[in-house]
Every structure is written in C-alpha cells, then in structure tokens.
Structure 1
Amino acid sequence: MKRIIVEQFVEAINQQNLSKIIDMMTDDFQFIDTYGECEDKEAMKTGWQGYFDWFPDYLIVIEDYIDNEEFAMIIGKASGSYLGQAEKHWAFPAAWKVVVDGQQIKSWQVFCDSKKQLDSMK
C-alpha cells in the first residue's frame, strides 16, 4: 500500500497536479531539499507551483523502490528544462526518502546533485 501512495504522489508531481499534491500532503508535511532545508505544507502550496513554473517539463522516473516500516526510498532520475527551454535541459540521478502516513505523504526528502539544475537557471 505504501508503494501505491508514493507512486500516486510521483504521478501527481509528473502531471503537475497541484490540487492532488496538496491533498496528498499531511497537515504536518515536511519537504526537505538536497541541502537539508525544510519547508512545511503551507510553504509548499506555493513552492510546488513555483518549481513547476521554473521547470514546466519536470519529470521523476522511478527506477528502484525499497521500503521498511518507517520510510520508503525511491531511486531514479529527475529531469527538466528551465522555463521549458530545450537548451537549458538537465537530467541527473536522484533519490527521495518518503514517509507515508495513511494515504498521505508526511515527508518528502530529495537527495541529488543540483548543480546542473541550478546552472540551467543562469
């Protein structure tokens, strides 16, 4: 069941379905970026939209999935293009640590080298 919830959240992200993403976040949701910075659900309501504005073709591809009683790990790739510009496309390996609470996501933590992504914004 945990895997289905995680896959549904990834699907919502890939579809940029903001209302589904928000519905799937617990009230005490935490987004943790690659630098360890945390944002809560309220901040991420606008944070997701801002990210999709920057990278309108953002895509997560799941290659491996593992879980235990406490959390799940997704290993795969992330890709996108800054402002949708083909010459500013990036893709790199990434991993996500996900805590599921019932039918919702409680924590979404990203692990990646974001240099290509940040460089594309110049």
Structure 2
Amino acid sequence: MTGEGSADPTALVVRFNDCINGRDIEGLARLMSDDHTFIDSEGGVVSGKQECLDAWRGFFESFPDYRNVFDSLTAREDVVTVVGHSVCSEPSLAGPALWTARIRNGEVAEWRVHEDTPQVREQLAVQDAE
C-alpha cells in the first residue's frame, strides 16, 4: 500500500528523527500534522504544530548535542513504536528510551517519549532487551 502519495510509516519516523538529530525545524514542520502533539516522558503535553516547533527550537538551543539512536522500529496500524536511546551531555536526557509516533495521512500527528520500563514495554508490546 505504499504509493507515491503515501509514506512508509517507519521511514517517516526515521526522517522525523533525522530532523530532531539535525535540529532541522523546517524539516520537522514538513512532517508534522497541523494538530501535532508532543508528549514527554513525564506526561507533559505540547499541542499544535507551531507550539511544538517553538518547543523544539527552545530544546535545541538548550541541548545542542541531544540526539536519538534507534535500535528497532515496529509499525502496528497507525502507530510506530521505537526502541533505542538518547545521547546528551545532560544526564537526565541520556539513556534508554521508547518512543511512539502516531501517523495520520502521511504526517506525524503525535510524538511521544516513554520511559523504558518493564511496565511500559508490556503496554507497548515491546520485547525485553537482551
């Protein structure tokens, strides 16, 4: 079902993360839905494309060395689940992480960061590490 007008969800998530790692605000804007929502690992929510772009700008200024490393991606219907880790000189932002991206009409409608815990892995149906 991948045609010219549709994007492979996992490829879309990889491109979205490439924009995060490259601090590419314009690239993020092209991949986000207008009603994009960001949810951090503590449940904090930023809603709306412009609000999320503003939040990313501030984040990139504060943590210029932050990047995500993906180990595996699994697509189930409209959600891509990612296992990996973040790298950053700020210790609270470095370490194992899980992400989910909700895809709608070839855009990222929601980007969510999850703590990598056994409970969250079970909720997301992610295999344990090892």
TM-score, normalising length from structure 2? 0.77
Residues 22, 45 of structure 1: 8 Å contact kept: yes
The answer to whether residue 34 in structure 2 is matched with residue 31 in structure 1 is no
2:50 to 39, 42, 50: 42
**How far apart in 2 are the matches of 1:102 and 1:39?**
20
The answer to whether residue 114 in structure 2 is matched with residue 111 in structure 1 is yes
Residues 56, 81 of structure 1: 8 Å contact kept: no
Q: Which amino acid aligns with 1:11?
A: D
Superposition deviation, residue 90 in structure 1: 5.7
Residues 79, 89 of structure 1: 8 Å contact kept: no
Determine what percentage of the aligned residue pairs are the same residue: 28
Superposition deviation, residue 110 in structure 1: 0.3
**How far apart in 2 are the matches of 1:63 and 1:78?**
11
2:62 to 54, 58, 73: 54
TM-score, normalising length from structure 1? 0.81
**How far apart in 1 are the matches of 2:104 and 2:78?**
10
Query: Partner of 1:97 in structure 2?
Result: 100
| Structure 2: runs of 5+ lacking an equivalent | 1-7, 117-130
Superposition deviation, residue 89 in structure 1: 8.8
Query: Partner of 1:21 in structure 2?
Result: 28
**How far apart in 2 are the matches of 1:81 and 1:104?**
30
1:3 to 10, 15, 21: 10
Q: Which amino acid aligns with 2:25?
A: L
Runs of 4 or more consecutive aligned structure 1 residues displaced over 3 Å after TM superposition: none
| Structure 1: runs of 5+ lacking an equivalent | 83-87, 114-122
* Residue 34 to residue 89, structure 1, CA distance change in 2 (3 Å): closer
SS at match of 2:35: strand
**How far apart in 1 are the matches of 2:82 and 2:55?**
21
The answer to whether residue 71 in structure 2 is matched with residue 68 in structure 1 is no
Counting matched residue pairs gives 108
Partner deviation per Cα, 1:29-52 (whole Å, 9 max, x = no partner): 100111112111221121001111
